[in-house]
Amino acid sequence: MNQSRRSFLNKTMKTALGLPVIYYTNLPKGLYPIIWDEDPIQGKSSELVILNSRPVNAETPAHLLNDALTPNDLFFIRNNGLPPSEINVADWTLTVEGESAKTSKSFTLQDLKDEFKNVTLNLTLECGGNGRSEFNPPAKGNQWTTGAVGCASWTGIRLKDLLAEIGVKDDAVYVAYEGRDLHLSGDPQKLPISRGVPVSKAMEDESLIAWSMNGEDLPLMNGYPLRLVFGGVPASCSGKWLSKILIRDRVHDGAKMEGQSYRIPCDPVAPGTKVADEDMCIIESMPVKSLITSPKTGAMVKPDQKFKIEGKAWTSAESIDKVELSYDFGVSWMTTRVKKAGNRYAWQQFEAELTLPKVGYYEIWARATDSEGARQPIILPGWNPKGYLNNACHRIAVKVVS
């Protein structure tokens, strides 16, 4: 076993178990501690809600998203296949190639760190299917409630700096990724997912290739040792376990780019409608959205007790303009204080103090409006076959009891 696999195993096991594995160097190659099977989310918080363990999909309860930045162990996991079981960081390479690449080249992690300007940005990742569980008729797929979202501080390099080094031909259309995870079938020829973004998105200042999350190595489940991070588009574009970047002369045609994946009807349809593939359009941006992260839904307060509401709001537009709260089922709305973000695509914190009139059951609803004037709907937005882009207002229950 080589040194980096050893230290990776040891470090991962330490975070997973809170304990070092004393004889880990004796483990034959290809053999993993059985706890890895028993603990599919490997080192992540047991407070994550596991929706599926093969592949692993786990979401973060809203009240655990109250930190300014989502801690690594609480960041949601959305896997389409199986994470690579053996990772040798020293040998890890990222290859850039494709029809519209002027050259092709491979980089080690160290090359990326040394040859390009290192940048750190706070960026929100949200799965396109977040909120799917509310659609009716139900949409197949992971039944995410509200927790397939998080915002972390990512350190890496700008994708555009790497693309400039390679050279992008005039006919370039898309920038796509491949990762080293395995297809569920075990077939090494198949990729679980390989998506991409239009060149203009790849060239944005906030589009990163990151090796660090909140100042630490990426957790295995979030793409260790290298991933893409794009703000404002479905997180499915942010390739994990990144091994290849393809500069394409066409819209990328990798796994989960075609058919109904990450697509919505080009024109709105009635709930339950079957839509032909050719009438489905790629999701190009994520809508304005917010979450109430404190108190936890079901909270109890006393009559006349002043309490604080806190939350997060995000958008693919420049920034969040305002977040309003209602406690009378949307008849009247009050404003909140919204903090500015350090950079575009970071979620913004909001807060307000509230007193509820008398003993009874209330709901607090949050509604964000972004700098383009886009505002969250109170009820479910357009039904679509795969249940994407639900940005309806978040609701929490609050009981006033004496």
94, 235, 317, 366: which one contacts ligand MTE (CB under 6 A)?
235
63, 78, 252, 344: which one contacts Mo ion (CB under 5 A)?
78
∠ CA 286-289-294 to the nearest 5 degrees? 140
76, 107, 144, 383: which one contacts ligand MTE (CB under 6 A)?
76
Joined together, the tokens standing for residue 309 give 């509401």
Handedness of CA 156, 74, 242, 231 (dihedral sign): negative
- Shortest spacing between CB 392 and ligand MTE, in angstroms: 19
Q: Strand pairing of 299-301 and 394-400?
A: parallel
SS3 for 74? helix
Count of residues that interact with Mo ion, criterion CB under 5 A: 3
Partner that binds at residue 122, options ligand MTE, Mo ion, none, CB closer than 5 to 8 Å by kind: none
Regarding 127 and contact with Mo ion (CB under 5 A), the answer is yes
Count of residues that interact with ligand MTE, criterion CB under 6 A: 21
- Shortest spacing between CB 74 and Mo ion, in angstroms: 17
Q: Which residues contact 295 (CB under 8 A, 6 or more apart)?
A: 63, 307, 309, 396, 398
Cα 209 from chain centroid? 14
- Shortest spacing between CB 90 and ligand MTE, in angstroms: 21
Q: Which residue is nearest to ligand MTE (CB)?
A: 179
Binding residues for ligand MTE restricted to 287-316, rule: CB under 6 A:
none
Regarding 257 and contact with ligand MTE (CB under 6 A), the answer is no
- Shortest spacing between CB 150 and ligand MTE, in angstroms: 7
142, 207, 236, 316: which one contacts Mo ion (CB under 5 A)?
236
- Shortest spacing between CB 66 and ligand MTE, in angstroms: 18
78, 248, 367, 386: which one contacts ligand MTE (CB under 6 A)?
78
Other C-beta atoms lying within 10 Å of the C-beta of residue 38: 7
Site pattern 148..187 for ligand MTE (x: CB under 6 A): -------------------------------x-x------
Q: Strand pairing of 56-59 and 49-53?
A: antiparallel
Interacting residue ranges for ligand MTE, rule: CB under 6 A: 75-81, 125, 127, 179, 181, 192-193, 222-223, 235-236, 238-241
